[in-house]
Amino acid sequence: MRLRRRDFLLTTAAILGGSHIALADSISGSLPWEPDAGIPPERIKLGSWLYFTSEEARTVEALADRIIPPDPATPGGKDAGCAVYLDRQLAGPYGSQHGLYVKPPFLKGLKQQGPQTEDGPAQVYRKGLAALNRYSSQGQDGKVFAELTGERQDEILKGLESGKLQLPEADGQAFFEALLKDIQQGFFADPIYGGNRDMVAWRMIGFPGARYNYRDWVNRHNERYPLPPVGITGRPEWTPKKS
Amino acid sequence: MSRKLPHKDVVIVGFGWVGSIMAQELTDEGLEVIAIERGPWRDTATDYPPTYDQDELRYRIRHELFLRPDQTTFTFRNKMNQTALPIRTWGAFMPPNGVGGGGVHWNAETWRFLPSDFVLKTHLTERYGADFLPSDMTIQDWGVTYEELEPHYDRFEYLCGTSGTAGNLQGQIQEGGNPFEGPRSRPYPNPAQPQPFSHTLFGKAARELGYKPFPQPSGNMSQAYTNPLGVRLGPCTYCGFCEWFGCGNYSKASPQTTILPVLIRKSNFTVRDNSEVVRINLDPSGKTAAGVTFVDTSGEEWEQPADIVIVSAYAIFNAQLMLLSGIGKPYDPLTGEGVMGRNFTHQTISDAVGFFDNTKFNFNPFIASGSIGMCIDEFNGDNFDHGPHGFVGGGYMGQVQSNGRPIETTPVPSGTPRWGAEWKAAVRDNYLSSVKPGTGVHGSFYSYRDVYLDLDPIYKDRFNRPLMRMTIDFHDNELKQNAFLTDRFAEIIQAMGAKKVDKEYRQGPYDITKYQTTHLCGGVIMGTDPRTSAVNRYLQSWDVPNLFVVGASAFPQNAGYNPTGTVAALAYWAAAAIREQYLKNPGVLIHA
Ligand SMILES: Cc1cc2nc3c(=O)[nH]c(=O)nc-3n(C[C@H](O)[C@H](O)[C@H](O)COP(=O)(O)OP(=O)(O)OC[C@H]3O[C@@H](n4cnc5c(N)ncnc54)[C@H](O)[C@@H]3O)c2cc1C
């Protein structure tokens, strides 16, 4: 009997996705389709941090709110759940570079040759967040990043972005680029991953989400699409509220 | 030690578009065929059902349906004097993996190349003189002509149910189609897809500027379709999750939706999934392939003997397998001798992003199919006089925007900060009223002496074999081409009524982190001379006549179109040569 990927996954710790190892099989005679063979995504569970320490999480929430500040109509990165998103991603295959080529030697290359570091995202954040707080608490600020004013936080982020500000024992610019990408991705990804809570990002821009069928609207040019967004697991109103 | 499997007539390496077509054709001939596929079985129910196919993070950002670099990757450098480093995570292109190959998650933009593309060297030399071409450009004629391939293009389009408007029916130019295309024997099997607002507007602007816009040929169904094998596809829903995604609606042409339901039921066909071919085996003479060796996911090694070996593992993997199997003389860029790895090419893509007044324009960018769009072909191939411009080649251009997925498609005007309140407001204000074609300018990439594939001296794969090394950079010819085309394209976006247009030129050096397309070509090229090509005009190895290497690996250079129409036409063409000539008299089809 062929072991389907789903069965295989359910018997391993690889449930977080990304590692779909299946056994080789010889297929002939009929399509090897089976009911319920798919691997639906798992909705993240709210609760304690899986990867971040509480100090790291506080820093990431502060960072998320500078990258995506709250405004009267739309929450910022923190309340949209971007830190939760990032925490769950770092605890999963993304954080550990699952599936990437990580054989040595790690030589320093040209920019166009792509990243050549041994550290995966989980390490980049661990080192980057520590360095950021060391920089702000041991330097002129005398406080950890999350306690600084928004203005000062922006100044530090701009320094990291431009490369003018060097962090102790971490590549500040690479850390910043990872952060920018991940926070924004979490903001726009389906809410099952923890960010874009209540589809706030999709509402902000007018993206209807996972609807999958616009046959009735393809010829209705320059008319606003009337329906609100849905996600993979439905609409916020349909799911029990948890704080 | 490998375990030996029962002998087959044909073994097919890689079960994507080409593998499926070859298997369908050769089983029809009554041959016993086995296909061996590196990745898993894939189908709609298992891998991309409409209940969660719309997951941008999973499929687009985390590459669910693609090869993992730890299974195999390549090293990359721009120039021969640099040290190539491994591609640790995919960027410039994204290798498919699994049954159906790239057919599962392509856009289905289904083009034919121009008649002149197949005789490129001869054509350009006759028109402009040999001195017009850069001295290190190594373009060649294909050894096959458009007229010879036409029936095979036609078969693929009817297999797929391609939706489009003919521009040249048996020599008669048709209103609303592409007037530059080669003559086609009959219309597309389905009418063109209806075009959403921004795509329509592009067509209107292009027409007003004097061009002849036409709908992009699309493998997304404009209506329900039953193909000649009796397999049915449903109408496309413009869901906006097409490129990078499988289709949950059975509306995108793929091996799964056009061939496999028929092929799998044949008693003379078997496919083995999760099995990677590591070597083509030769018999002691070195002139005949004995079969292949593959390794399955449990690490078990198997030998599959066969009379005919078809390599259809996708362009770069074809080249990799040939180099690792030691078949054909490796190309040496210093002497220009050798064939394996020669004339490696990619594509020259750029874009122009238009921002419009959001009180007047609402494009609903999320309403799109993978191959939606209005295009023009005035600047492709040699459709225009290159004399005054000092470059050769070109590409189609168009508003071919296939999605409004918010991680990927939330453009902001240049000058906007990349984060913070201003960025957030710009995202909000521009999402519905901007035009971001993605691959707006789809330019050719011609071949050069110093752009090639060979084996890396440092980095190894999981079997401790050398990774394949890519040496590739943009040359002045392509950068000039791109500047000229991007400017023309931006003029049309401007004429749509944009208040601001950001041009995103393709600039050197070639960057392995920036996605262009997965249209890698060359490395095992076809031609008429065994000194400058690895396979003959029937895709048969010059050195090992029972070995056929089929795919974009055979392109001597890449044209300004997506490759798969031509890849599939070559597959039908090679299959016809095997059925009609080779089987009657197995051996060399062309005596050099
Ligand atoms: C995101 C994306 C969008 C695209 N959009 C378009 C488009 O709109 N229009 C267009 O013309 N083209 C498009 N393409 C390109 C298109 O997918 C390819 O041209 C096409 O799939 C090539 O067919 P093929 O059979 O040569 O290779 P594939 O379809 O890739 O099949 C090759 C198969 O071989 C397997 N394989 C590789 N190595 C081995 C091995 N050693 N042993 C066993 N199996 C092996 C692979 O896993 C794969 O399944 C797109 C590609 C991508 C990635």
ipTM reported for the complex, 2 dp: 0.95
User: What is the pLDDT at residue A32?
Assistant: 86
Task: Give the predicted TM-score (pTM) of the model.
Answer: 0.96
Quote the domain boundaries for residue B341. Answer: 3-582
**DSSP string computed for A66-131:** HHS---SSS--TTTTTHHHHHHHHHHSTTTTTTTS--PSP-----GGG----S--HHHHHHHHHHH
Report yes or no on B344 lying in a domain.
yes
Q: Which of A71, A103, A185 sits opposite B421 (nearest CB)?
A: A71
Which pair of tokens denotes residue B209?
Answer: 């500027």
Minimal CA–CA distance to B100: which of B18, B27, B162?
B18
Please tell me the residue having the least CA distance from ligand 1 atom 27: B314
Q: Where are the alpha helices (DSSP H) in B29-82?
A: 44-47
Report yes or no on B591 lying in a domain.
no
Which residues in chain A have their CB less than 8 angstroms from residue B19's CB? none
CA A239 to CA A45: how far, in whole Å? 13
Higher pLDDT, A15 or A32: A32
User: What is the pLDDT at residue B121?
Assistant: 98
B96 CA from centroid of ligand 1 (Å): 5
User: What is the pLDDT at residue A1?
Assistant: 33
Residue A14 forms contact with B (CB below 8 Å): no
Residue A85 has pLDDT above 70, yes or no: yes
B401 lines ligand 1 (CB under 6 A): no
Domain of B213: which CATH number?
A: 3.50.50.60
Report yes or no on B564 lying in a domain.
yes
CA B154 to CA B65: how far, in whole Å? 29
User: What is the pLDDT at residue A42?
Assistant: 87
Determine the residue among B424, B465, B472 to mutate to test chain A binding: the one whose Cβ has the most chain A Cβ atoms within 10 Å: B424
Which residues in chain B have their CB less than 8 angstroms from residue A71's CB? 421, 424-425
Minimal CA–CA distance to B348: which of B246, B472, B243, B249?
B472
B316 CA from centroid of ligand 1 (Å): 10
Number of neighbours of residue B460 by Cβ within 10 angstroms: 12
Determine the residue among A218, A223, A233, A235 to mutate to test chain B binding: the one whose Cβ has the most chain B Cβ atoms within 10 Å: A218
CB < 8 Å from A in window 396-435 of B: 404-407, 410, 418-421, 424-425, 427-428, 431-432
User: What is the pLDDT at residue A8?
Assistant: 41
User: What is the pLDDT at residue A22?
Assistant: 67
Computed over its alpha carbons, how large is the radius of gyration of chain A? 21
User: What is the pLDDT at residue A35?
Assistant: 78
Residue A18 has pLDDT above 60, yes or no: no
Higher pLDDT, A84 or A243: A84
Beta strand ranges found along chain A (DSSP E)? 25-27
Report the chain B residue with the minimal C-alpha distance to residue A68. Answer: B420
CA B93 to CA B91: how far, in whole Å? 5
Report yes or no on B589 lying in a domain.
no
CA B572 to CA B549: how far, in whole Å? 13
B457 CA from centroid of ligand 1 (Å): 27
Report yes or no on B53 lying in a domain.
yes
Determine the residue among A207, A211, A217 to mutate to test chain B binding: the one whose Cβ has the most chain B Cβ atoms within 10 Å: A207
B551 CA from centroid of ligand 1 (Å): 9
Instruction: Check B7, B389, B519, B591 and give the catalytic one.
Output: B519
A124 φ/ψ angles, rounded to the nearest 5 degrees: -55, -45
**What does the longest C-alpha to C-alpha distance in chain B come to?**
74
Residue A193 forms contact with B (CB below 8 Å): yes
Please tell me the residue having the least CA distance from ligand 1 atom 45: B14
Residue B555 forms contact with A (CB below 8 Å): no
What residues have CB less than 8 Å from B394, skipping those under 6 apart?
Answer: B379, B380, B381, B382, B383, B384, B443, B444, B481, B485, B560
**What does the longest C-alpha to C-alpha distance in chain A come to?**
73
Report yes or no on B588 lying in a domain.
no
Total domains, chain B: 1
Clarify whether B519 is annotated catalytic: yes
Residue A223 forms contact with B (CB below 8 Å): yes
Report yes or no on B592 lying in a domain.
no
| Cα-based torsion angle of the residue sequence B208, B211, B212, B214 in order, rounded to the nearest 10 degrees | -80
B97 φ/ψ angles, rounded to the nearest 5 degrees: -160, 130
Give the sign of the dihedral formed by CA B11, CA B14, CA B15, CA B17: negative
B149 φ/ψ angles, rounded to the nearest 5 degrees: -85, -15
Residue B250 forms contact with A (CB below 8 Å): no
User: What is the pLDDT at residue B328?
Assistant: 97
Higher pLDDT, A159 or A16: A159
Minimal CA–CA distance to A48: which of A20, A10, A82, A88?
A88
Question: To the nearest whole angstrom, how far is the Cα of B589 from the nearest Cα of chain A?
Answer: 32
Yes or no: say if B235 and B125 are a contact pair by the CB < 8 Å rule: no
In tens, the pLDDT along B413-423 reads 999 999 999 99
User: What is the pLDDT at residue A13?
Assistant: 35
Residue A4 has pLDDT above 70, yes or no: no
Residue A3 has pLDDT above 60, yes or no: no
Of B111, B297, B564, B566, best ligand 1 pocket probe by most atoms within 8 Å of the beta carbon: B564
Report the chain B residue with the minimal C-alpha distance to residue A109. Answer: B85
User: What is the pLDDT at residue A152?
Assistant: 97
Label residue A236 by pLDDT band (50, 70, 90): confident
Which residues in chain A have their CB less than 8 angstroms from residue B239's CB? 211-214
Report the chain A residue with the minimal C-alpha distance to residue B272. Answer: A26
pLDDT, averaged in runs of 10, over chain B (592 residues):
94 98 98 98 93 96 96 98 97 97 98 98 98 98 98 98 98 98 98 98 98 98 98 98 97 98 98 98 97 95 98 98 98 98 98 98 98 98 98 98 98 98 98 97 98 98 97 98 98 98 98 96 98 98 98 98 98 98 97 88
Of B11, B106, B236, B521, best ligand 1 pocket probe by most atoms within 8 Å of the beta carbon: B106
User: What is the pLDDT at residue A9?
Assistant: 40
Report the chain B residue with the minimal C-alpha distance to residue A150. Answer: B420
Report yes or no on B413 lying in a domain.
yes
CA B155 to CA B196: how far, in whole Å? 29
Minimal CA–CA distance to B168: which of B153, B187, B149?
B187
